[in-house]
Amino acid sequence: MCGIVGYTGPREAYPVILKGLKRLEYRGYDSSGVALVNSELKVYKKKGKVSELEESVVGKDMHAHVGIGHTRWATHGEPSDRNAHPHQSAGGSFAMIHNGIIENYASIKQELVNKGYQFKSDTDTEVLLNFIEDIKQNNNCTLEQALRIALKRVVGAYCVLLVDKDDPETIIAARKGSPLVIGIGKGEHFLASDASPIVEYTKEVVYVNDYEIAIVRPDELILKNLGNEKQTPFIQKLDMELAAIEKGGYDHFMLKEIYDQPQSILDCLRGRLNPAAGTITMNGVDNHLNALINAQRIVMVACGTSWHAGLLAEYWIEDLCRIPVEVEYASEFRYRNPVINRGDVIVAISQSGETADTLVALENAKEKGAFIFGVVNAVGSSIARLSNAGAYTHAGPEIGVASTKAFTGQLAVLVMMALKIAYAKGTIDEKKYQHLLTELHDVPEKVSQILKDTSNIQAIAEKYKDATDFLYLGRGYNFPVALEGALKLKEISYIHAEGYPAAEMKHGPIALVDDKLPVVFVATKDKYYEKIVSNVQEIKARKGKVIAVATEGDEIIPGMADDVMFVPDADETMAPLLSVIPLQLLSYYIGIAKGLDVDKPRNLAKSVTVE
C-alpha cells in the first residue's frame, strides 16, 4: 500500500520526488523519506505526513540528480522515524524502499543475525536490504545479480527500488504483486507506484510485470526477468491529465470526487450507452458474449467498497439475467479452496486493479479454468492484464482514500453488463430494456440535481456529528447502499456504524435503538416501499432518530422521519446510483464537522496491495 517514487536524470531529484510523494500520500502516510545520491548517499526520513518530512529537511543540502522516495503504510514495525523508508544497508553503500510484505523475513533475519548483522528498524525491508548486501559481498557479484538471487529466495509481495552510492546514475527496481510504473522522458526516467507522479513530466510509460527487474539510468531502461533474460519494454500512452489529480478549488479531494460524479458516470457511459439506438457497446462483453450468456455461475470477487458494488451486481444479474451469482470477499475466496469449474465467470472488481487478495484469488481461479472479467479503474493495472476480458470504469484518478466516484463508476459498468447480457439472453423484453437504458442515461443529470444544494445535508451532519453509533438500513437494491453508507461513515468520521437489511433489524439490531441512536433508512420508492415504511414506524416507536434518503415528492416518509435527504425519482434498478450520493456527502460533512482529515483517514490507505 506504500507509495514509491524514483528519479534519474538532469533535474534536481528532490523536488520531483517530494511532489510525487504528495501525490501518492493516499497510499500511506505513517511516515516518509528520501534517499539522494550525489557524491555520497544521503537518507532523510520522518514519522508523519510528507509535509513533516519537508519541514525537517529545510536548510539541508538536497542536491542530487538521482533519488528515491517513500510514503509508508505500516506493516512490520510501528510508525516511527526508525521504521520509515528508505533503509540503508549495514555497510552504508545502498538504500532501498519497498512496497509489500516479505513473509519469510524472520528466518532470513535470523541467518543474518547469526552472521553478526545488527538491525536499526523492525521492518522486513531492512532484512531484505541486508540480505542483498550479504549476497553481494559473499558472491563478489553486482548489485543487480545480488538482487536477483535474493528475490528467488524471498516469499511475499514486493516492489523495491535500490540505489548505490558507487553507481550514482542508476536505480534498480523489481516487482512482484506490488505495482510499478516507469515514465520515459528525454534523457530521464521516473518511477512510481502509479502514474500520478509521472503525468506532469511524460505521457509515455512502461508497466513493469511481476518477476521483472528494471535497470534504470537517465538514457537507458533495461528490463530483465529473474532468469536474467532481457525483456522488451511495452511503452503505453497515459490517458490522464494533470488537472485530474489536483483539487480544482475544492477543499478536499473527497468533496471534489463526489462532485466529479455527474461527469465520471457520463464518461463511463459515453461511447457505450445509446438509448436512441437501443444499444450498449462494450467490447469486453461483446467479444465474449457467449461465455457470459452461458455461464452456469458468476462469482463477484472484491474487497471493501468494491464488494458492495459486487453485491448490487448480484441483484442486477440475478434479477435481469437469471444467472446465479455469488459475491465473495477476495481475502476469504483465495484461502477457502472454493469450488471453481471450467466455464465459471469470475468478475474481479477493484478501483486500483492492484488489490493483493483479489489478484491472488484471480490467479487461482484462472488456473482452474474460470473466465476472468475485470472491472477496474486503473488502465494497465495488474488485474486488467490478468483478466481474459474486462471493462474500465473511466472514473479518472481517485485520490481521496474513501472511494466515491470509483464506486458509482463500477455500478455503471456492472449494470450495463447486466442489461446487455439480459437482452442477449432474452430474459427482459424490449420495452423494459429500452426503459432501463433511458433511466441509466438520465443518471448523470439526476446526480447533478442532488449536488446543486447540499446545505440540508450539511445541517444534518452538524446535528448528528457527536453520535457514537449509527445504524443504516435498506431493502432490495438499497441494502448494499446501506452497507456502503455505513462504511463511508466509519472510514471518514470514525463513528461506529453498521449496515443491515431493514427486515433483519428485528433479529437483533433493534436492541440498540434508543433516543440517541441515528438510524439511516435508504427509503426510495420501490417495490419494498411499504415494508420500509413499516420499519421506520418500528424505529420511531422506540424513539430512534430517523434520517431518511427519500424520493422527491414522497409525502409519507418525510412525515415520519426526523430528517430527510431527497433524491430524484428513478426506476428502482438505477436508484442506488442516486441514493448513495447523499450518504457520501453525509459522511464527508460529519468528518469535516469533527475536524478530521477526510482525505487521509487514520490507519487507512487507498490501494491494499499487501495482505
Q: Which residues carry out catalysis?
A: 2, 606
The contacts of residue 150 (CB under 8 Å, 6+ apart) are: 128, 131, 132, 135
Sign of CA dihedral 342, 343, 344, 347: positive
The count of C-alpha atoms lying within 13 angstroms of the C-alpha of 496, restricted to the half-sphere facing its C-beta, is 4
Cell for 37? 545520491
DSSP string across 207-230: EPPTTEEEEEETTEEEEEETTS-E
Residue 409, amino acid: G
Q: Which residue has the cell 479503474?
A: 377
Integer Cα distance of 193 and 72 in angstroms: 12
Cell for 251? 477543499
DSSP string across 274-312: ETTTTEE--HHHHTTHHHHHT-S-EEEEE-HHHHHHHHH
The count of C-alpha atoms lying within 13 angstroms of the C-alpha of 76, restricted to the half-sphere facing its C-beta, is 19
Backbone φ and ψ for 74, nearest 5 degrees, come out as -65, 135
Strand pairing report for 518-522 and 545-551: parallel
Integer Cα distance of 348 and 370 in angstroms: 12
| Separation in Å, CA 139 to CA 142, 149, 164, 212 | 9, 10, 17, 22
Cell for 363? 490467479
DSSP string across 313-376: HHHHIIIII---EEEEEHHHHTTS-----TT-EEEEEESSS--HHHHHHHHHHHHTTPEEEEEE
Closest-CA residue to 119 (of 162, 88, 159): 88
DSSP β-bridge partners for residue 524: none
Closest-CA residue to 546 (of 568, 524, 526, 523): 523
Residue 564, amino acid: V
Length of the chain: 611
Largest CA distance in the chain: 80
3-state helix, strand, coil in the chain (%, to 5): 40, 25, 40
The contacts of residue 183 (CB under 8 Å, 6+ apart) are: 189, 190, 191, 192, 195, 198, 201, 202, 204, 205
| Separation in Å, CA 253 to CA 2, 50, 410 | 19, 17, 19
Q: Within a 10 A sphere around the Cβ of 78, how many other Cβ atoms?
A: 11
Closest-CA residue to 81 (of 38, 48, 112, 114): 48
Q: Within a 10 A sphere around the Cβ of 51, how many other Cβ atoms?
A: 14
Evaluate whether 69 touches 37 at the Cβ level (below 8 Å). no
